[in-house]
Amino acid sequence: MDISDFTKTTRYMPDDAFYFDEETNETKTAKVVETTWSHHNEKLSDFTFCLRENHEDYQNKVNGEEQRVMEKWFAELGYNEDIYIIKDWIIKEKYKIEDEEQIQNWLKPNGAQVVESKDAETI
């Protein structure tokens, strides 16, 4: 299930914030940006995140919060996290066998990568 149908908006908060610039050794002020995530499924909550403008880790922190928002929506939808997992906004079964390596491991558990093959004469 894809839950990437949401809107992300930003706006400035009314009050500026203080921070210490280690390069100039000065206390400075900066605008604070509020990011809001609103899902098009109205049953899911809106989430907000505030960070000062030009924060050196701005994008990583917003991305990290977006990941947490995704997991909160996943929980709000009532999925059992022992059975399901969400990655890149897609909810899927946690232990579903999908890629070729997994398939081979289950079909041939003693494959060549695990036990070296021997020819019949050696046996």
CA R_g for the chain: 24
H helix runs in 8-96, sequence order:
58-76
Cβ closest to another protein, residue 40 vs residue 57? 57
H helix runs in the chain, sequence order:
58-76, 100-107
7, 40, 75, 95: which one binds another protein (CB under 8 A): 95
100 forms part of the interface with another protein (CB under 8 A): no
Contact 65, 33 (CB under 8 A): no
How many residues touch another protein under the rule CB under 8 A: the total is 43
80, 110, 117, 122: which one binds another protein (CB under 8 A): 110
Q: From residue 81, how far is each of 23, 37, 47, 71, 75 by CA, in Å? A: 44, 22, 21, 10, 8
41 forms part of the interface with another protein (CB under 8 A): no
Contact residues for another protein, defined by CB under 8 A: 13, 15, 17-22, 27, 30, 32, 34, 47-52, 55-57, 59-61, 63-65, 67-68, 85, 87-88, 94-96, 98-99, 102, 105-106, 109-110, 114
